[in-house]
Amino acid sequence: MRYVSLAVFLFATACASTPDQPGGAAAGAGEVGQASTNSTVNRGAKPSAEELTDSQGTDTIKVAEPHPNGSPGIPSYDYLSGKFDPAKHPEFLKVAAKYTDGDPYLLHRETYAAFEKMHAAAKADGITLTIVSATRNFDRQKAIWEAKWNGQRLLEGKDKANEVYPDPADRARAILRFSSMPGTSRHHWGTDIDINRLTNDYFRSGQGLKEYEWLVANGPEFGFCQPYTPLGKARPTGYQEERWHWSYIPLAKRLTGFARQRMQAKEVSGFDGQQAAVPLNVIENYVLGINRDCL
């Protein structure tokens, strides 16, 4: 009997844990469509397991190693910095031509669904909303930035930055009036769209003013907020006002919170002019320098 009891005990012990789930953790716990959550917090490594909270310090999420493409629910560092191909990301959709200026655009599916509803409501009020820019990944933003940095594209239609601003910090500051450093743009996230025209003057009179007033009054109903309002006491740092730029806050608010926790200026790199990221404190002053209503 002594040997039978020992055999039963060993068999029960072996059945108490499964080899593919150490510690008995349930697969998929705490995340969607990924491996089981690792409860160990590693605060040093950016893309690895760590405990994250949103911008309000609530809704704690423990994440395991993210999917290479990341997701707004569990974003990898590459997702936040635009180092992925949105055309291959399962959460991104191609925007129908009827909503655009004719160029092909991609948006996160939730942003797209919200825009479709807002577009229909605007149309019912005699307002046409046309997307003229949407998701831009790191490589696309790098092309825009370096064209301005090297004088191949004029700043605000008049100046060659490399001739007018020989100092790297001054040159970067001038470009940052309206363009983000690669890796720091909200357009990386699939949450932000540019609407109708890319000039503030268009939205200050006539039909443009009607469109802007409609967006200000109705955009929040559909989850959209203007992140770059005029600089001043309420928004002392960041890009200049952009009346055309609207952000889908249900997603962007959380991603802004993750960016606050995970992104550092010293890691902004991989393009001409990267040396200006730290002295200009681009994360604090630009990534987080947005309209408080969008936080």
Q: Is residue 73 a part of any domain in this protein?
A: no
- Nearest 10 degrees: CA dihedral of 192, 198, 203, 207? -100
Task: Classify residue 201 by its DSSP letter.
Answer: G
**Residue 171: its H or E element:** helix 168-175
Q: What is the pLDDT of residues 253-263, one digit of tens each?
A: 999 999 999 99
Task: Classify residue 159 by its DSSP letter.
Answer: B
The pTM for the full model equals 0.77
Q: Say what the pLDDT of residue 53 is.
A: 38
Among candidate residues 280, 294, 90, 262, the one with its CA nearest the CA of residue 192: 294
Q: Is residue 228 a part of any domain in this protein?
A: yes
Q: Is residue 276 a part of any domain in this protein?
A: yes
Q: Say what the pLDDT of residue 11 is.
A: 39
Mean pLDDT of 161-188: 98
Q: What is the pLDDT of residues 208-249, one digit of tens each?
A: 999 999 999 999 999 999 999 999 999 999 999 999 999 999
Q: 227, 239 in Cβ contact below 8 A?
A: no
Q: Is residue 14 a part of any domain in this protein?
A: no
Q: Is residue 5 a part of any domain in this protein?
A: no
Q: What is the pLDDT of residues 120-161, one digit of tens each?
A: 999 999 999 999 999 999 999 999 999 999 999 999 999 999
Task: Identify the CATH number of the domain in which residue 176 sits.
Answer: 3.30.1380.10
Q: Say what the pLDDT of residue 247 is.
A: 99
Tokens for 144? 């825009």
Q: 205, 252 in Cβ contact below 8 A?
A: no
Phi, psi of 176 (to 5 degrees): -70, -5
DSSP bridge pairs for 195: 131
In the chain, % of residues over pLDDT 70: 75
Q: Is residue 175 a part of any domain in this protein?
A: yes
Q: Say what the pLDDT of residue 71 is.
A: 55
Kindly indicate the confidence band of residue 77, based on its pLDDT and cuts at 50, 70 and 90. Answer: very high
Q: Is residue 199 a part of any domain in this protein?
A: yes
**Residue 94: its H or E element:** strand 92-94
- Containing domain of residue 155, as a range? 91-294
Kindly indicate the confidence band of residue 56, based on its pLDDT and cuts at 50, 70 and 90. Answer: very low
| Number of separate domains in the chain | 1
In this structure, the number of other CB atoms found within 10 A of the CB of residue 150 comes to: 14
Q: Is residue 59 a part of any domain in this protein?
A: no
